[in-house]
Structure 1
């Protein structure tokens, strides 16, 4: 059962008896882990229930995808949806450094409502399990499981999914995946898995990534000029994916070194990065790597100067945020008229 209370934690009471020497992992302001097992998340999240937004003319509802795995999602549809309208579908993964964030937060509810309203699509915003309680690759596996659940509603795949908003209103030949920050990393890895696991039958039309969270052991671009942020990113990856070599050059984190990147399971890609974001150069490297590979798809790349990490998610009412919302909506819908 989903609770829609504000998720926060009383850091004073939980950490009152702890000292600096008791800290095992410190990725402030995301999360801090103490040696006694105490885990503190510092960013409060206002969770909101599904609803009908009369201004945006979008309806939403929540579904449980898998009780055992604790995977759930919020589905968004246009308010005036007619049965068998055959709309494009977007499967979306939220950001939050793999340690925070929720598909049910006010932030992502606002973003997906705006996108569905503008693009007139169906969207499934996935709630996956978070680190450090659930280390990667659990989040990747949850995301893949959710994508397969969505496509289990495809008649062409012989699916038996029973969710009516998906089974009766979606053209699965117009399937897209997207995400921001850590969710962008997850989105890439899910679409790559679709390309590698052909037996799944999942064929995707496109992928969009907003300030994707990729990393590596060798500094590139402007990273050298931001040593404190480099330390932060290193600590984050050591926390969320501890069972791999600490070089940060394994394919899930550094796809520019992945020999299988050309097998990305779609042929249309939209990537946008922010000029002031330390992850900007990683996003550009990702695009360059795909362009030089045997992938052969089409890429739209936007570099937004003067903006910070996931600027449009944090501040959706700015001109640049509205511009990118328009570009994402166009990317999903322009070939589907």
Structure 2
């Protein structure tokens, strides 16, 4: 066989997201576009910059700071974790940059949008480990002596929110769950927002079989919280789950909602189903009436006492 041809042999493909070749190469078929941070806040008043959280693992983030009406006032901190099947997208894509730039402005929160290691080059649980490292990195600023000035000067570590969409929602849940189980001093998670979460259900999931070969399947709390005996340990007083009527993941979001309600957890969980819409529609069509309504609910969630 021609060596050039053998290099193009496909080991696995999950359309429309990516192809994995037998020589280890990965072609990401979408979610690769990037935009620079906003150093000149001419529209929303939000500034952003790219930072490194760990030079060892490569964990990075895009940090957003809204317009400071009162520079002495501390603002809630939102740890945001992007979706993309654990494989594609990044905090630097236009989808996420525009969404979080807008959310930072409307909710008046500091946003830490993390760039975790992606599968299949870095199989799960790498993304879970990076998400957990991110909240610990943020917590290191609670004494106002961390490596990032924006967090030292402007973040309120007693009002921390964790949010994510799709695969990022599974990672966000994991952060709040681990915080409740293991604890991290210096930060208090008060709320969790899950947009169209990607958890396992009773069906076989070929993607997760590839990118999480060490998973415990339906017994693994990272991807299937419904059977997690420590689900009730989740740290947060409030959880808001969004699902969409036409989303193939809708039932998984409802199952999570029901499991959390029955877990013995002492907080309040709400769920909102958007009629007539598909997976993460609010990212692809942010100016639509339903997307605006969804974001307004998130803003209200983060600003209620």
Which TM-score applies when normalising by structure 2?
0.94
Q: 1:174 aligns with which of 159, 162, 168?
A: 159
Q: What is the aligned partner in structure 1 of residue 213 from structure 2?
A: 242
* TM-fit CA distance, 1:19: 9.2
Q: What is the aligned partner in structure 1 of residue 173 from structure 2?
A: 188
Residues 1:62 and 2:47 aligned together: no
User: Do 2:103 and 2:299's aligned partners in 1 also have CA atoms closer than 8 Å?
Assistant: yes
User: Do 1:194 and 1:200's aligned partners in 2 also have CA atoms closer than 8 Å?
Assistant: no
* TM-fit CA distance, 1:82: 4.0
More divergent stretch after superposition (193-202 vs 93-102): 193-202
* TM-fit CA distance, 1:248: 4.2
Which structure 2 residue ranges, 5 or more long, are not aligned?
none
Q: Secondary structure at the match of 1:205?
A: strand
Partners of 2:215 and 2:108 lie apart in 1 by 41
Q: Secondary structure at the match of 2:68?
A: coil
Partners of 1:19 and 1:326 lie apart in 2 by 49
Q: What is the aligned partner in structure 2 of residue 204 from structure 1?
A: 189
Structure 1 stretches of 4+ with a deviation exceeding 6 A read none
Q: Secondary structure at the match of 1:66?
A: coil
Q: 1:38 aligns with which of 25, 43, 66?
A: 25
Q: 1:74 aligns with which of 17, 42, 62?
A: 62
Q: What is the aligned partner in structure 2 of residue 270 from structure 1?
A: 240
Residues 60 and 81 (structure 1 numbering): CA distance in 2 closer, same or farther, change over 3 Å?
farther
Question: CA RMSD for the aligned pairs?
Answer: 1.9
What does 1:1-337 correspond to in 2, within 5 Å? 17=5, 22-51=9-38, 52-80=40-68, 82-155=70-143, 160-198=145-183, 200-216=185-201, 218-219=202-203, 234-245=205-216, 247-335=217-305
Which structure 1 residue ranges, 5 or more long, are not aligned?
1-14, 220-229
CA deviation profile, 1:123-163 (whole Å, cap 9, x unmatched): 110111100010111111111111111111112xxx63131
User: Do 2:7 and 2:21's aligned partners in 1 also have CA atoms closer than 8 Å?
Assistant: no
User: Do 2:79 and 2:113's aligned partners in 1 also have CA atoms closer than 8 Å?
Assistant: yes
Partners of 2:232 and 2:224 lie apart in 1 by 14
User: Do 1:119 and 1:333's aligned partners in 2 also have CA atoms closer than 8 Å?
Assistant: yes
* TM-fit CA distance, 1:203: 2.2
User: Do 1:97 and 1:181's aligned partners in 2 also have CA atoms closer than 8 Å?
Assistant: yes
CA deviation profile, 1:63-98 (whole Å, cap 9, x unmatched): 111111101111111133543311111000001110
User: Do 1:82 and 1:169's aligned partners in 2 also have CA atoms closer than 8 Å?
Assistant: no
Residues 81 and 167 (structure 1 numbering): CA distance in 2 closer, same or farther, change over 3 Å?
farther
Give the count of matched residue pairs: 302
Q: What is the aligned partner in structure 2 of residue 226 from structure 1?
A: none
* TM-fit CA distance, 1:106: 1.1
Partners of 2:68 and 2:183 lie apart in 1 by 35
User: Do 1:84 and 1:170's aligned partners in 2 also have CA atoms closer than 8 Å?
Assistant: no
Partners of 2:58 and 2:82 lie apart in 1 by 16
Partners of 1:143 and 1:196 lie apart in 2 by 15
